[in-house]
Structure 1
């Protein structure tokens, strides 16, 4: 059992700005917590899910309120707290605490493969085509072999075409951010395939997922906003892939359940993230071992990061020593 030692809200600046169809961000607020059992400590970080109405202060309040009931463990946290950034921070802190108590790394406790460097996508923020082309050229020159384009449902082909011109040799995935609801989805998908795109995230708004069922599309669709926890999998069989994010799932514990359930259903796995520091990305790095697509650049998009941060070298995300 554990007790809450500290909970804080921190603000971290973004390098430039991070632009998607819902707006631009120049900073990210995260909630952090420390738990302990006396001699041992565990740390966790969560980034509030803005489209679920979360913010960092409310997440911090939720952690304090839960901890006020007394000692807790991962089982009680996952049974009693709703999925989201607050539970993610507590769940991951408890994983690290358990590892400290056992004298073993988290990956070993969780039955995961020992982490090794992996290729991560680098996100090309939404912008005018020439801006996205320049960003793609810069990312490719830095060694990123997988780029992710943010889309908006208008002018998408021009944007993706520009990214392809800027980085002709890279793999491409796109995130529609629910913006294709009024479009001919199969035609849009076919046009993306012609540009070498291999995956489309969340083409339709959450709740309209049935529109994808039975479509003869030439490209896999990946559930993002529609897929929060393992309970969602049964109704998301129209998707060929799911995007697991620890802040959506509410922690590493639920993320591992999601991965197991998706594999049992024959769905491919993408592991993604929100903007956040390496303390929040490190648990996702463990869950991403063996994923089909890895999109863990959330800390790489910040102007600064924590000491001991994960780093990218030639497009490969390297395991750090910050957590676990």
Structure 2
């Protein structure tokens, strides 16, 4: 049956700025999708990422190229073949989940055969900065249960020590965003272990992560840039203890669920992650929370303002329950 597809680039200012090893930004640029069928509306959102060769304009063009296919009744199964994993497919896939749930008078969680937790503990991200800047940010967030510390440039040992001193009782995970060198990794991992870091995310460039086989993992290591979708998942075994599942990488909830199941079968733990984006991106990812050991769905907390009817955050917890924004 005919589905009317429309999409647009939207911008959401970030509260302050967001800095990682690859640079800083002051706004989240997303592509929002709207699908209409028989009076029902399904919505989705994605974040094009330059690291993966995506731009907002190219993503919007890839989505709009499928207007005729959706007018002819494209299904989620059809979509998996029409586009590769990535941002464009994510927005469309999530919008189809939302549309299907609304047409069926149920929730996306029910369609997936899942019951999301009523309360979800999420990490809160501390941007890369000087040791003093990061310590100040960590002190302000020390009441939260889990902080994600952005590292990946010279001086990381001092940064991490300053953060741990400022938030002595808070659980920590570290994300180096491919910024460390194999020769420095054993020492940096030992420092992480000393600072009681639970997980180190993507310490080495994706093309250099073969070195992870040769070192002692004093802290569990999580793949992010090294894993996108189902293809290549088996190659991570022996290099990583965990993977970061992001819907913008998997190309939507459909493949993300398959990635999580396959990762579990391979003995890999799961982190559910996100780009800096609104609750329209977080709500589909929230369905993976029950399968994840670490949850990093703090995107809306980094914005000056979220979408209406967004998720409710309180002291590092995401409240459960239905939302009219996505998924029912």
* Shorter-chain TM-score tier: over 0.9
What is aligned with 2:293? 292
Aligned pairs for 1:231-270 within 5 A: 231-237=231-237, 238-270=239-271
- The 5 Å alignment of 1:308-323 reads 308-319=309-320, 321=323, 322-323=325-326
- What do residues 59-93 of structure 1 show as CA deviations (whole Å, max 9, x unaligned)? 11111102223321100111110111110000000
User: SS where residue 163 of structure 2 aligns?
Assistant: helix
Alpha-carbon shift at residue 11 of structure 1 (Å): 0.5
CA shift, 1:39, in A, is 2.3
In 2 relative to 1, CA 20–2 (structure 1 residues): closer, same or farther, beyond 3 Å? farther
CA distance in 1, matches of 2:126, 2:216: 28
User: Given the alignment of the two structures, is residue 283 of structure 1 paired with residue 271 of structure 2, yes or no?
Assistant: no
Q: 2: distance between equivalents of 1:91 and 1:220?
A: 32
Superposed, 1:1-324 pairs within 5 Å as 1=1, 3-69=3-69, 70-141=72-143, 144-237=144-237, 238-319=239-320, 321=323, 322-324=325-327
Q: Is contact 1:120–1:297 with CA below 8 Å preserved after alignment?
A: yes
For 1:4 and 1:186, the matched residues in 2 are separated by: 53
CA contact (8 A) 2:174 2:200 kept: yes
Q: Distance in 1 between matches of 2:114 and 2:159?
A: 38
State the Cα deviation string for residues 89-141 of structure 1 (Å, max 9, x = none). 00000001110111111111111223421110000000001110110011123
- 2:44 and 2:198 mapped to 1: Cα distance? 33
TM-score by length of 2: 0.95
Alpha-carbon deviations, 1:5-63, whole Å to 9, x = none?
32111010000000011111100110011112222221000011220121112111111
Alpha-carbon distance in structure 1 between the residues aligned to 2:182 and 2:213 = 16
- Deviating above 4 A after TM superposition, structure 1's stretches of 4 or more consecutive aligned residues are none
Aligned residues of 2:11 and 2:29 also touching (Cα < 8 A): yes
For 1:183 and 1:12, how far apart are their aligned partners in 2? 39
Q: Per-residue displacement from partner, 1:201-248 (whole Å, max 9, x unpaired)?
A: 001101212111142221111000011001121111111000000001
Number of positions where the alignment pairs a residue of Structure 1 with one of Structure 2:
322
Report the 3-state secondary structure (helix = DSSP H, G, I; strand = E; otherwise coil) of the residue aligned with 1:216.
Answer: coil
Per the alignment, in what secondary structure is the counterpart of residue 48 of structure 2? coil
Contact 1:209 1:236 in 2 (8 A): no
Is residue 2–residue 73 contact of structure 1 (8 Å, CA) maintained in 2? no
Contact 1:174 1:199 in 2 (8 A): yes
Deviations 1:263-305 (A, max 9, x none): 0001000000001111111101111223100001111100001
**TM-score (normalizing by structure 1):** 0.96
Unaligned ranges ≥5, structure 2? none
SS at match of 2:290: coil
CA distance in 1, matches of 2:301, 2:68: 35
Cα distance in 1, alignment partners of residues 67 and 236 from structure 2: 34
- Let me know the Cα RMSD of the aligned residues: 1.3
Q: Cα distance 1:2–1:251, how it changes in 2: closer, same or farther (>3 A)?
A: farther
Counterpart contact for 1:269–1:293, Cα < 8 Å: yes
Find the aligned partners of 1:4 and 1:159 in 2 and give their Cα distance.
Answer: 50
Q: Distance in 1 between matches of 2:277 and 2:227?
A: 20
Query: Which residues of structure 1 form unaligned runs of 5+?
Result: none
**Cα displacement string for residues 119-169 of structure 1 (whole angstroms, at most 9, x for unaligned residues):** 10000000001110110011123xx11001101241111111111111111
